Structure formats: C-alpha cells, structure tokens
C-alpha cells in the first residue's frame, strides 16, 4: 500500500491515524500467512514526521531442526522519525516539503517518493528484522519441537541422516576443488 501524505506534510501539529489492513506480504525473504493489521499514527511535529504504532501478522517459517513449516505470530512496534525540509517562500501550507531519509541501510528500498509513502516497504523492513534467523516452533516442556520432537542439539546438519561424513565430503560440490588443491600441494 502506498499512502499520499501530502495533507499531513503541510499541516504542522496534525495527527492522522491509519488502520492497517495490508494483504499478507509474500516475497523471496518474507512470507506472511495472515494480513497485516494494526494501527499507525502519522504526526507532523513541525520539523519531523513521526510514524508510530503496532502491526500484527503471522510469519510462515521453516523449523531449523526439521525444516517443517509452521506459522509464528509476530507483533511489530513501529517507531519512525523523518526529518522534514521546507523550501520556497510563503506559508508552510504552500511550501515544498521533502521527507529526508537517511541512507543507513544500503539494501533497504526507499520509503518516500515525494509525499508518497511506501507502507508495504516499511512493514517489509520491520518483518525482516523481526524474523528469527533460526526459527523454532513451539516446544514441549522438555524443549522438544512439537512437530519433529527434536532437541536443540539435534538440529539437522546437511547429509546427516543419509550419508557418512566421508560420503558427504565426496558429494560436496567443493570435493573436486579440494582434490585439485591436494594435487597442487603434492607436486
Ligand atoms: Zn521441528
């Protein structure tokens, strides 16, 4: 969803609440299984634009032990502040207002194009930060995954079940490279 913030950008002190109801976000990094709901408040604080509120959804994650998929609820706490730059003369209402984004994160996409705010991109960035790097589904009292009944120390390693370490090494795409390196060393 893209929102036109022209009105709020020109009115100092104005608050506009926004009820979130974004379709479930799915891309190569993030997979939501539910729409993103919640409420954001946009505030023009004079020299800054504030965006605060909460957003809730559920992420589709792969268990780091058994690779089974499971849904995990997430609750995002949004708290953003953007500097506003005014140019041109006259009243605030007629001046040109630009939202300043810092380029802290070079891989993040831009959030603003003039007064148009890319809400989906903001939520995507928050979800990326929130998503666990080693997802674990709900566990029982002994700490075993409720789906695969594995303990944390039984996390799947590549080739663990079907091959011996020697077989795994031989099947590795790097094995030929390793051989070549050995040949070079022995020459
Ligand atoms: Zn599991």
Answer yes or no: do 122 and 180 share one domain: no
Q: Residue 159: its pLDDT value, please?
A: 46
Distance 156 CA to ligand 1 centre (A): 9
- Which residue reads 């148009």 in tokens? 116
Answer yes or no: do 68 and 112 share one domain: yes
Residues by chain with Cβ below 5 Å of ion ligand 1: 63, 65-66, 145, 147-148
Q: Is residue 17 part of a domain?
A: yes
Distance 142 CA to ligand 1 centre (A): 14
Answer yes or no: do 162 and 115 share one domain: no
Q: What is the pTM of this model?
A: 0.74
Mean pLDDT of 45-55: 96
User: Percent of the chain, pLDDT > 90?
Assistant: 48
Contact (CB, 8 A) for 56 and 32: no
Q: What is the pLDDT of residues 82-114, one digit of tens each?
A: 999 888 777 766 778 889 987 666 667 889 999
Mean pLDDT of 61-69: 85
Q: Is residue 140 part of a domain?
A: no
- How many independent structural domains does the chain possess? 2
Last residue of a domain, one of 130, 148, 177: 130
Q: Higher model confidence: residue 70 or residue 42?
A: 42
- The Cα 57–Cα 62 span in angstroms is 16
Q: Is residue 152 part of a domain?
A: no
Give the mean pLDDT of the chain: 83
Answer yes or no: do 93 and 17 share one domain: yes
Q: What is the pLDDT of residues 156-167, one digit of tens each?
A: 555 445 555 565
- Residue 174: which domain range? 157-186
């Amino acid at each position: 969803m893209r929102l036109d913030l022209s009105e709020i950008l020109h009115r100092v002190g104005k608050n506009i609440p926004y009820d979130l109801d974004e379709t479930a976000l799915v891309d190569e990094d993030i997979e939501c299984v539910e729409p993103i709901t919640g409420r954001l408040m946009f505030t023009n604080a004079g020299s800054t634009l504030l965006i605060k509120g909460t957003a809730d959804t559920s992420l589709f994650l792969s268990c780091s032990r058994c690779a089974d998929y499971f849904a995990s609820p997430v609750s995002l706490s949004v708290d953003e502040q953007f500097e506003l730059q005014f140019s041109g003369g006259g009243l605030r209402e007629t001046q040109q207002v630009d939202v300043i984004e810092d380029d802290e994160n070079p891989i993040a996409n831009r959030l603003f194009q003039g007064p148009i705010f890319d809400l989906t991109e903001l939520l995507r960035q928050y979800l990326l930060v929130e998503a666990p790097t080693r997802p674990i589904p709900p566990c029982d009292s002994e700490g075993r995954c409720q789906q695969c009944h594995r303990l944390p120390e039984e996390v799947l390693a590549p080739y663990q079940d079907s091959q011996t370490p020697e077989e795994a090494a031989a099947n590795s795409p790097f094995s030929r490279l390793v051989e070549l390196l050995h040949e070079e060393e022995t020459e």
